[in-house]
Amino acid sequence: MRIFIAALFTMQACLAQAQTPQTTPETTESKPTESYQLQKVEILGNKEDKSYLESTESISVLQAETYDKGVKTDSIKALNALPNVQVTKNDNTFSIRGINNIGVTGYQKDNLASIMVDDVFQTDLAISAGAFDFWDLDHVEIYRGAQSTTQGVNSLAGNILLFHRKASEQTEGAAKAGVGTYGYKEIGAVTNNTMLDKKILTRVAVNVERYDGFIDNVTTGNDRWGRQDKNYISGDMIYKINAFDEIRWNLKVMQTENGGTYSQSTNPFDYHVYEDVDNRTLTNNQQTSLRYTQKINENSSNETILAYSQSDQDATADADGTSSNTAGVRYEDHTDNYLSVENLYKYQSEKIKNVLGLHFHDYTIKDDYNFNVLAPGPVPVRQKTEKYQDTYAIFDSMLYKFNESHAMNLGLRYEYMKNKFDSYIVYGTTRTANGNEEGGILLPKIGYVFSHGISSYGVSYTQGYRTGGVSVNRWTSNVSQYDPETTHNFELSYKCVQDQLKVAANVFYTHWVDQQVLIQYAANNPYNSATVNAASSEVYGAELEAQYTINPQNLLGMGVGYNHTKFIDFKGPLNQNYDGNEFPFASPWTGSVNYVFKPTDNWAWDTTLRYLAQSYSDAANTSAKRAPEQFYLDTSLAYLIAPISLNVETYIRNVLDQKYVTYDASNAFYGTKVYQVNSPREFGARVTYFW
């Protein structure tokens, strides 16, 4: 933690230096500064079109110009160690403020935090298919804390919004090629064109990646057991009806083929597994969005957004996790379909920014598991589940400015949801189970913002929630309903934006009631379990982010987050008492320090240090399975050959070659070893040609 304390004092000194008497709101607004660009970007994530300084939320904005360097990874892992953001397990799940997106305990397919990419909600399968792609990136916004009033379900902990570059009126393009250690190869291209006197704008991007991985299978001789291969294509088209109205259509098609992500060696960092069946997961996704923007009059506009996503996944793995053919092959097939329609009527005047929204979505998930369980001999198990969810919502959020210094943000959402669940289970005997759950909820928010020149101070209350549902005990086939869970969130905020300095700080407290948790009714039998409303908890902490442009050659950035998670009341059916325990995958401290040095217009050196404190991997807070304290140092060097429009990059990830077991899923009862490990040191280079 010393480096983050030192960075904090450095930022404090920078703040004192930057806040000179000569800097006034008038002079700040009159310049085309980076602070104005930041505020302009922020309105994409706020449906009310609030500026950055008018927002009380804790928000991180990652611009492509400073974030899509070779040192960054092309997955959610790129967000790891941002203040109170932790990427866990196999890099497809994450925690915001100590709350894991797929659930604090168990996996219920109604996530606590969501990802949106170019207007489309990303299902878990879509993320597995490679939807979180950084090629042709514009920027990323991370919202910490409940966003339920404007976003609805799946936003109790926060949201991550990724925006790719829109089709523009420029004729331009780029092509890239790169190589790296462990068989990494990438190629990609993007082209932007116009038609019909710039009434039609088009942009197409392609990204292809191949990666052998660093884990091999000794039993099968497969040295690509940990492979990660991706094919990605995106198309964006804008039809400009007139100077104000437009229709934007976006289409993405993607596929990934991945191996395993764990090690079974006695020394996990030998990077071996010993299974007689190789892991293979093939995931496909097609998604599209259509946005119609219409200006009604000088103060009013309307936006209608239609989005659709379809995914399928086929997976095979070793059912017993050993080199012997004891339980055979485990088969899994998953599909999902997501359709949403949202209409936003916006009104803006000198005093009011208001959005009135109508929302509907239909979400279907189908899962099919087919494998043998050792009990002690192989017993065939088949489970097919289907979940159907329809959601209807109406919401309004308004920012009212009393004057230049005082403003209030009021919001309310009513959401009504219907869930239907069907299950077919074969475990010795054939059983079926089904259930329904429906209901509505009101979600308020209220905030106050005091603005003073280049700074703003805010206080807010929001209510977050996750829908109720139906739980099926796979061992007994008992069906039970569980109610929605809610959070009460209180927050203080501070933001400062000027030419050279950006500072943001938030302090928060969350009280969680009717918390949905997965409880197990028999030791060493994960199938005898169910989701119930059996806990209450609290989360509190703070975030601090700052970026200081020392001069045109030197840029310093830092961020640190602290969160304390605690179950207040959580008792298990086997006399477990989890009261006072921390949440799984909830590092209390996260942080990063970034330094960019540009000695000339051609050279750029980028170095980032990331830190995550220890965290538990289960609600029991088992010390033996605690993820260790982690440090990661990444660096990259880029050189622009301007006369031929060629950029050359080299990078090193995990410079110090730190080795950590980030998640221990070993099971002594079944005699299996499963260690999730971080990536070792990696080198790479990339060339990008622009036209």
SS3 category, 28? helix
**Which whole number is the average pLDDT over 613-617?**
94
Gap between the Cα atoms of 383 and 624, Å rounded: 32
Dihedral angle at the C-alpha atoms of 38, 42, 43, 45, nearest 10 degrees?
160
DSSP track, 597-635: E-SSSSEEEEEEEEEE--B-SSTT--GGGPBPPEEEEEE
| C-beta atoms surrounding 432 within 10 Å | 12
Q: Tell me, what DSSP letter sits at residue 12?
A: H
The reported pLDDT for the residue numbered 449 is 98
Coil vs helix vs strand at 6:
helix
pLDDT at 43 over 90: no
> What H or E segment, with its residue span, contains residue 522?
none
Among 37-51, 149-163, 180-194, the least confident range: 37-51
| Share above pLDDT 70 across residues of the chain, in percent, rounded to a whole number | 92
**DSSP assignments along 296-350, one per residue:** -SSSEEEEEEEEEEEEEEEEEEESS-SSS-SS-EEEEEEEEEEEEEEEEEEEE-S
Using one digit for the tens of pLDDT, what is the confidence trace for 327-385?
A: 999 999 999 999 999 999 999 999 999 999 999 999 999 999 999 888 777 888 898 99
pLDDT of residue 69: 58
Q: What is the structure's pLDDT at 18?
A: 40
The larger pLDDT score, comparing residue 606 to residue 77, is at 606
**Cα radius of gyration rounded to whole Å, the chain:** 25
pLDDT, average across residues 493-500 = 92
Rounded CA-CA distance 649/178 in Å is 9
Mean pLDDT value of segment 48-60: 91
Asked whether the predicted pLDDT for residue 28 surpasses 80, the reply is: no
What is the pLDDT averaged over residues 261-272? 94
pLDDT of residue 621: 93
| Residues paired with 505 in a beta bridge | 494, 544
Mean pLDDT score, 392-410? 97
Side-by-side strand order, sheet with 85-88: 85-88, 93-96, 99-100
Which of 108-117, 625-634, 674-683 comes out lowest in average pLDDT? 108-117
pLDDT score of 526 = 77
pLDDT in tens, 505-532: 999 999 999 999 988 888 777 778 888 9
More confident residue, 480 or 74: 480
Q: Return mean pLDDT, the chain.
A: 89
Residue 40 has pLDDT above 70, yes or no: no
Question: What pLDDT score does 27 carry?
Answer: 35
Residue 448 makes CB contacts below 8 A (sequence gap 6+) with 56, 406, 407, 408, 409, 458, 459, 460
Tell me the average pLDDT across 484-504: 94
Question: What strand order describes the sheet that includes 675-677?
Answer: 262-263, 675-677, 661-664
Q: Which sign, positive or negative, has the C-alpha torsion 149, 154, 158, 161?
A: negative
Residue 327: HSE in the Cβ half-sphere, 13 Å Cα cutoff: 24
For residue range 57-108, list pLDDT tens digits in order: 999 988 887 665 555 566 788 899 999 999 987 677 899 999 999 889 877 6
Please give the pLDDT value at position 481.
Answer: 85
Using the predicted structure, report yes or no on whether residue 308 has a pLDDT greater than 90: yes
**In whole angstroms, what is the distance from residue 388 CA to residue 333 CA?**
17
Closest CA to 430 of 384, 399, 466, 461: 384
Q: Which residues pair with 458 in a beta bridge?
A: 449, 493
Identity of the residue numbered 553 = Q
- The number of helices, as runs of H, and strands, as runs of E, in the chain is 6, 37
Q: Which two tokens stand for residue 327?
A: 């339980």
Per-residue pLDDT, 495:
96
- Asked if residue 400 lies in contact with residue 352, where contact means CB atoms within 8 angstroms, the answer is yes
Domain ranges of the chain: 2-690
Least confident of 104-113, 191-200, 625-634, 645-654: 104-113
CB of 369 closer than 8 Å to CB of 348: no
pLDDT > 60? residue 19:
no
- Per-residue pLDDT of 270-299, as tens digits, reads 999 999 999 999 999 999 999 999 999 999
Q: What is the pLDDT of residues 128-140, one digit of tens each?
A: 999 999 999 999 9
Residue 396 Cα distances to 48, 84, 242, 303, 634, angstroms: 9, 29, 28, 14, 43
Which residue bears the tokens 């209450």? 536
What CATH number should be reported for the domain whose range is 2-690? 2.40.170.20
More confident residue, 11 or 601: 601
Give the pLDDT band (50/70/90) at residue 657. Answer: very high
**What was the pLDDT predicted at 71?**
56
| Lowest-confidence pick of 300-304, 319-323, 361-365, 520-524 | 520-524
Confidence of residue 31 (pLDDT cuts 50, 70, 90): very low
Average of per-residue pLDDT across 609-638 = 93
642 DSSP assignment? G
Q: To the nearest whole percent, how much of the chain has pLDDT over 90?
A: 71
